[in-house]
Structure 1
């Protein structure tokens, strides 16, 4: 976990956050959204540069248990809910940054969903957390499909069919 934490600490510090006392997930999201609010579509390039940096720093650790909720809980002494929110945020940001132009084209709506409809997105995180705890056959992938669909439904509801995954 040491390398993972070092990479994440650097990532969070890039946003001006204190890794020793990370803010609530909601405040973290507001920090990221403030970049796109201030810089517009070029703000996507800014937060994606942070995302690429942390992915490069982590290498194979990016898709390892070190980036799971339990690890965030251990590294940052977070609540279970916050650790799930932070840990599930990274794959979402990877997807966003791999589809930058799409993000830029729909930025205003996405920012609105992130800020104004956080409660709906949290339901998706809570559902996947429950589903993962209840896995009995070792299939830890299926709950993530439901998580993606849940978020897809939230964004489609507020941004229209053009954002459907």
Structure 2
């Protein structure tokens, strides 16, 4: 559901060994909930494997499955607490052995999870069935958004401009299939991802529509 072009960004945070250890413990407990483990040399499961394990609940038969996902996600964010500033492209690979693409995917996922399971929890739960089906029903439309992003990158369109076009496209797709509130929800999710993996784009992020309630 989240797609971004990932560029390495040097951030200025530097955690201590104790702070890193706290975050690492939290993730170890988090993965246990999905019958996954942190491997030798603190190697994380591939993000694809993690997403598959979690997806069994996210795409389950009813929104109780998503409620379970959010309980697990909130336990992680509560455990990490004030150390969430170390979940960034520079510090995360200092804690874990992770590929570059998975590094960004896990960072995005952490902060998007907070939005989905706390800030916009009611939107997540109340629109579960449409959110669970749009990957299939809106597949071609989403693919067009992704293709346009790739074309823009190839044509050397400034990355923040290209990403904003993508965010607008995705918001429009979700609005078409699931309504205006879900379109705004997706816009906010994409902006959260950009905030944490491409912080240079923050000043020019598009303004997402307001929720109806």
Q: 1:4 to 1:36 in 2, by over 3 A?
A: same
Distance 2:72 2:173 in 1: 26
- The aligned residue for residue 131 of structure 2 is 110
Any residues of structure 2 matched to 1:39-50 within 5 Å, and which? 40-50=62-72
Q: Is the 8 A contact 1:70 1:83 kept in 2?
A: no
What is the Cα deviation at residue 100 of structure 1?
Answer: 2.3
Higher mean C-alpha displacement, 49-58 vs 150-159:
150-159
- State the secondary structure of the residue aligned to 1:17: coil
Alpha-carbon spacing, 1:153–1:32, altered in 2? closer, same or farther (3 Å) = farther
The question of whether the paired residues in 1 share the 8 Å contact of 2:34 and 2:53 is answered with: yes
Q: Show the counterpart of 1:6.
A: 25
Partner of 2:91, secondary structure, is helix
Alpha-carbon distance between aligned partners in 2 of 1:7 and 1:151, rounded to the nearest angstrom: 32
How far apart, CA to CA, are the structure 2 residues paired with 1:85 and 1:29? 10
Task: Tell me, yes or no, if the aligned pair for 1:8 and 1:54 is still in contact at 8 Å.
Answer: yes
1:12–1:18 Cα contact (<8 Å) kept: yes
| Cross-structure match for 1:54 | 76
Aligned length, in residue pairs: 148
**Any unmatched runs of 5+ in structure 1?**
127-133, 135-141
Instruction: Measure the CA separation in 2 of the matches of 1:4 and 1:119.
Output: 35
Instruction: Give the TM-score normalised by the residue count of structure 2.
Output: 0.55
Residue 26 of structure 1 deviates from its aligned partner by 2.5
Question: Which one of the candidate residues 93, 103, 111 is aligned to 1:83?
Answer: 103
Unpaired stretches in structure 2, ≥5 consecutive residues: 1-19, 151-157, 185-213
Which structure has the larger Rg over C-alpha atoms?
2
Q: Secondary structure at the match of 1:22?
A: coil
RMSD: 3.5
2:27–2:76 Cα contact (<8 Å) kept: yes
Match of 2:37 in 1: 18
